[in-house]
Chain A
């Protein structure tokens, strides 16, 4: 048997209604899919940005603020952690490497951050896209989104208040006279650090008249810092798992606070997850309502065509043919709606994620995920099972009546 031509004829004959029903299904599915995809991609983007920061040590205070400023480079004023903490951390046997995070200066709208060479390579795990790690105080490694080339020079401006201020603005306080020379470029990471300019922390201290962090006369780059000065944050790579927890515990005291960025993210995600659960439930409810509306509309459609079905039965169509034709018609509407809805949802989620990510300078990619496919499949399966009802109703009605008008 071949019920396809008949189902297609039904759809063709009432293509306006069929299209409207499919669109309704598509919107219901798109809402659920979009919300899910958006939330998941934001989580993944945010988590990926924190990958380079196993443990952050900052001044006592809000862990969330510490993570936002150090990991996501959101400008904010922070209390400095004393240099002694950095000195201790650098000498700690349980730390594989440590690096100060000395932000505060800017070049145009790009943050200039003082770090140790270990941070540039993540202790040897990250290869540069171009050039080499800085080896002198007046050298810089740039993120992939910084519009400079190897050998270019830059002079940073000071202060958050002047972020984005024009360089020849009279108020802008230019640091020193000697510029940085770009010697290397980081690979793209999809994080705010793509916009950062990494320079030796020693130079940042010096510019602020704090010495270079080393013993008198020493001109080294990197640890140990015998005369370390205060810094906004320190990133620490623990040697092993027990070390990670030991360091986190050891540097939680009156002078400093140690947090895993993941802790902060997970609690943020949990909050986001609660919001998402509410949104999901609403999306689910809307999908159910949409399905109900589609069934109502379709029952009307079937009733309007009851004469056609009576004719089929008069002509001797077996019950499975009539059932298949009615079911197929609704199933095709559902299938079209769900497929389009899946696409719409991902597209919508992607556009929203892109806009949000651009704002936070975090690359957010919405990849099609199984969660959304499952949601769409659930709607499809529920719909297709439900589609059997109108089909069975058609069979229940005796054919003679409809033929006699």
Chain B
């Protein structure tokens, strides 16, 4: 639901003792709201760094990143955290679930950033999401879930509050083919249903094939594939 506009964005990170390592050089890009984007490129080319910059996890060296008019490149850390909380859902290659929390509580985790009590509606929605994604009921302990099931929990956490922006970093890379296919479908369907802008960094050709817009990052340049 948010359009993206990059103006002269450079991304670099310090690489002592050498000069800073340039990931991306003076790049412009415009994506419409609700776009579904696949980001590809060789390993180490900076897919994750670009994704982190787009999510406001890391500052950029230069340029502006506008999501629907708001330039997140000029926000400070606390403001970026607040912006992320409101606008993004993140999915990682290694799920990054919190051990020790139950499956349901992992989905509800972002709710506690703002609220002491979890509203009934959100709790019901979390359960419905898990059921809809085919997790067994009653929910088993987190420790016994398969990798595919864990990624589905992580996906439920990302979409719980219907963010306008879904960012996924290699969401299928650590899954077997069947689980990868399932996660890919869920991710695309979720974004399509909610109208969220979806950006997926991936190597997975099956997943990339389902995304209409394709970007490739290589040698500090971002190019749009036909």
Contacts and interface: CB of A to CB of B under 8 A. Distances in A.
A316 B81 contact: yes
Given A9-B105, A400-B58, A307 B85 contact: no
Contacts of A9: 98-101, 105
A311 to B, nearest CB: 4
A404 B55 CA distance: 14
B99 A1 contact: no
A399 interface: yes
A308 interface: yes
Contacts of B117: 2
A316 B160 CA distance: 14
B98 A404 contact: no
Which of B58, B86, B96 has the most chain A CB atoms closer than 10 A to its own CB? B96
Contacts of B82: 316, 318
Contacts, number: 86
A400 B81 contact: no
Which of A3, A14, A308, A400 has the most chain B CB atoms closer than 10 A to its own CB? A400
Contact of A403 (B57, B98, B110): B57
Given A315-B85, A316-B81, A316-B110, A403 B96 contact: yes
Contacts of A311: 92, 96, 98
Chain A binding surface SS class: helix
Interface string B89-129: 01010101011110001000110111111000000000000
B217 to A, nearest CB: 15
A134 B85 CA distance: 87
A312 B85 CA distance: 10
A2 to B, nearest CB: 4
B209 interface: no
Interface in B49-106: 49, 52, 55, 57-58, 77-78, 81-86, 88, 90, 92, 94, 96, 98-101, 105
B84 A314 contact: yes
B162 interface: no
8 contacts: A1-B114, A11-B100, A14-B100, A308-B96, A316-B83, A316-B88, A319-B81, A398-B58
Interface of B: 48-49, 52, 55, 57-58, 77-78, 81-86, 88, 90, 92, 94, 96, 98-101, 105, 109-110, 112-117, 157
Interface of A: 1-3, 5-6, 8-14, 307-308, 311-319, 321, 398-400, 403-405
